[in-house]
């Protein structure tokens, strides 16, 4: 029944993963020779990544998106504001606590207990999911809210230790991972479906953007209580397999761990949906069966994906970073990082979900190809700048401050939907591939040049989350100038896209 769709998803997964595979192999056979055990682990991880992405993409389409849309519509239809806010907070908290990307980051952050960091970040997401719901219900300008929130973020940054800056902004990026994004984005679609005004489609985006701010603020507030010493971080050894039996043991020993982790991640979402099904939704048995199959695909896909990237990609990223940064011409890590960044964002599982929803809600006015190139350009620049930080020790504050200032300034001049999509894209781009390949890549390079891991390597997730805000909105400026005849001014709305029909904004 689903064979055709699986073949389609397999083709998409191959087109996303093969370029980064080719880049890593090219480095291995030229400037950064890699031990055969780590290379074999990387290749097996790539296979798991392809198959996992295939199953996850179909699972998100069959289950996560329909569940989110129906729950969002049901919550809004109740018209009970206190109940809506309570359910929003509870949903945001439960999903975030079980987000695999956040657990990867928490394991690598010194001085703060894992559970403290997890619950702090989850509370931040819960609060800002409530704020996002209020914005959608009352049609408050997203750009105004973002400007106020980020002014508060940077003001608070001045009061906390420098060691907390990178970790706080990284937390905002990793919370919007493959578990959170499909469900939260679908919630926005479900809430907007209840509204009948012309700006409902515009406001369906932006939930991920606001949910990315909550963790930053909550971790900065945590920084006022916890004082890290900045020196307790110890780099973990890079696992290497001496033979094929050891290689098999690496992966087979990790499968049970990630099977349990993904089961714990999916359980809160499934339980939340089950409550709505019993008391309010009353979906037919056929629809429930389809959602159940989708959840199974999601479970299989994420288990394979996370096993592949954690066991296969993380050691390879760390080793490549160490090797390239130790070269006589170590500056070469900057262009190498940019090339890796260009291709790696397309392997993020939630990116395909975002592009599909953008194309669907804009009737093709924002093409997937334009989105893909804009995201790749943004992530490429961000990884390049992160490598400059690793080599020079430049404070992340001097990159994030002008970057967010430029993004917020652009939000005053581009159509509202582009601002919402751009800030959503930032959270989506900084997913598990960033946490398990780019972050170890930066940490390995930082260790090779003798830098401070906590202040210089951490922050790559934050950089990946920031630059798409600028590149996607730059796409919006091009849209505005090329389609001036449709509607003038920064308040262009969904009506503009309806007039455009299936016209692609940019031919790339």
In a domain, 331, yes or no: yes
Q: Which two tokens stand for residue 474?
A: 């730059």
Residues contacting 373, CB < 8 A, separation 6+: 508
In a domain, 239, yes or no: no
The percent of residues in the chain predicted with pLDDT above 70, rounded, is 89
In a domain, 90, yes or no: yes
Tell whether the model's pLDDT for residue 326 goes beyond 70. yes
CA dist., res. 23 & res. 116, Å (int): 38
**Taking Cα atoms as reference points, which of 468, 496, 469, 495 lies closest to residue 482?**
496
**Taking Cα atoms as reference points, which of 100, 201, 260 lies closest to residue 495?**
201
Residues contacting 218, CB < 8 A, separation 6+: 120, 121, 123, 124, 127, 171
CA dist., res. 107 & res. 234, Å (int): 11
Q: Residue 234's CB: how many other CB atoms inside 10 A?
A: 8
Q: Which two tokens stand for residue 310?
A: 């954690």
In a domain, 288, yes or no: yes
Buried-exposed string 285-311: b where 16+ CB fall within 10 A, e elsewhere: eeeeebbebbbebbbbbbbbbbbbbbb
Q: Which two tokens stand for residue 57?
A: 């993409």
| CB burial of residue 284 (10 Å; 0-12, 13-18, 19+) | exposed
In a domain, 269, yes or no: yes
Which pLDDT band, with edges at 50, 70 and 90, does 235 fall under?
low
In a domain, 282, yes or no: yes
pTM score: 0.83
Give the tens place of pLDDT for each residue, 243-288: 889 999 999 999 999 999 889 888 888 998 999 999 889 899 999 9
3-state DSSP assignment of residue 388: helix
In a domain, 402, yes or no: yes
Give the dihedral sign, CA 356/361/364/368: negative
Give the tens place of pLDDT for each residue, 134-156: 888 888 888 889 999 999 999 99
C-beta of residue 90 within 8 angstroms of C-beta of residue 129: no
C-beta of residue 304 within 8 angstroms of C-beta of residue 251: no
In a domain, 27, yes or no: yes
Q: How many domains does the chain have?
A: 1
Residues contacting 378, CB < 8 A, separation 6+: 425, 429, 467, 468, 469, 470, 471, 472
Give the tens place of pLDDT for each residue, 30-64: 999 999 999 999 999 999 999 998 998 899 889 98
Which pLDDT band, with edges at 50, 70 and 90, does 335 fall under?
very high
| Domain that residue 227 falls in | 3-231+245-500
So what's the pLDDT on residue 358? 80
């Amino acid at each position: 029944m689903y064979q055709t769709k699986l073949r389609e998803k397999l083709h998409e997964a191959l087109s996303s993963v093969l370029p980064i595979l080719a880049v890593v192999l090219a480095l291995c056979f030229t400037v950064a020779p890699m031990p055969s055990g780590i290379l074999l682990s990387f290749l097996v991880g790539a296979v798991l990544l392809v198959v996992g992405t295939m199953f996850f993409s179909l699972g998100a389409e069959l289950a996560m998106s329909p569940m989110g849309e129906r729950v969002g519509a049901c919550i809004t239809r109740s018209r009970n504001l206190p109940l809506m806010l309570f359910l929003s907070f509870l949903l945001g908290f439960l999903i975030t606590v079980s987000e695999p990307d956040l657990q990867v980051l928490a394991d690598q952050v010194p001085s703060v207990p894992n559970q403290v960091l997890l619950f702090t970040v989850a509370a931040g997401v819960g609060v800002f999911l409530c704020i996002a719901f209020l914005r959608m219900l009352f049609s408050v300008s997203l750009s105004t809210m973002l400007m106020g929130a980020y002014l508060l973020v940077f003001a608070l940054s001045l009061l906390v230790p420098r060691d907390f800056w990178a970790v706080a902004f990284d937390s905002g990026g990793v919370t919007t991972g493959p578990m959170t994004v499909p469900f939260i984005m679908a919630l926005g679609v479900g809430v907007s479906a209840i509204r009948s005004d012309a700006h409902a489609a515009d406001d369906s985006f932006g939930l991920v953007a606001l949910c990315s701010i909550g963790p930053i603020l909550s971790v900065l507030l945590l920084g006022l209580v916890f004082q890290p010493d900045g020196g307790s971080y110890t780099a973990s050894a890079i696992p290497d397999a001496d033979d094929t039996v050891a290689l098999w043991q690496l992966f087979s020993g990790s499968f049970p761990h990630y099977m349990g982790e993904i089961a714990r991640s999916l359980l809160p979402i499934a339980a939340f949906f089950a409550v709505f099904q019993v008391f309010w939704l009353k979906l037919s048995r056929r629809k429930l069966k389809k959602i159940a199959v989708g959840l199974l695909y999601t479970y299989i896909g994420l288990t394979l994906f996370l096993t592949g990237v954690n066991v296969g990609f993380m050691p390879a990223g760390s080793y490549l970073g160490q090797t390239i940064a130790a070269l006589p011409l170590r500056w070469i890590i900057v262009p190498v990082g940019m090339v890796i960044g260009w291709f790696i964002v397309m392997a993020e599982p939630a990116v395909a979900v975002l592009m599909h929803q953008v194309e669907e809600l804009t009737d093709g006015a924002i093409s997937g190809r334009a989105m893909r190139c804009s995201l790749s350009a943004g992530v490429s620049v961000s990884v390049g700048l992160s490598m400059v930080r690793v080599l020079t020790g430049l404070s992340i504050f001097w990159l994030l401050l002008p970057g967010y200032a430029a993004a917020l300034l652009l939000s005053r001049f581009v159509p509202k939907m582009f601002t919402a999509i751009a800030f959503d894209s930032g959270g989506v781009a900084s997913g598990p591939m960033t946490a398990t390949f780019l972050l170890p890549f930066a940490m390995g390079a930082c260790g090779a040049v003798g830098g401070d891991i906590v202040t210089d390597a951490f922050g790559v997730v934050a950089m990946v989350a920031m630059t798409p805000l600028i590149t996607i909105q730059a796409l919006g400026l091009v849209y505005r100038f090329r389609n001036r005849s449709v509607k003038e001014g920064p308040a262009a709305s969904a009506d503009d896209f309806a007039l455009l029909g299936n016209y692609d904004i940019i031919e790339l």
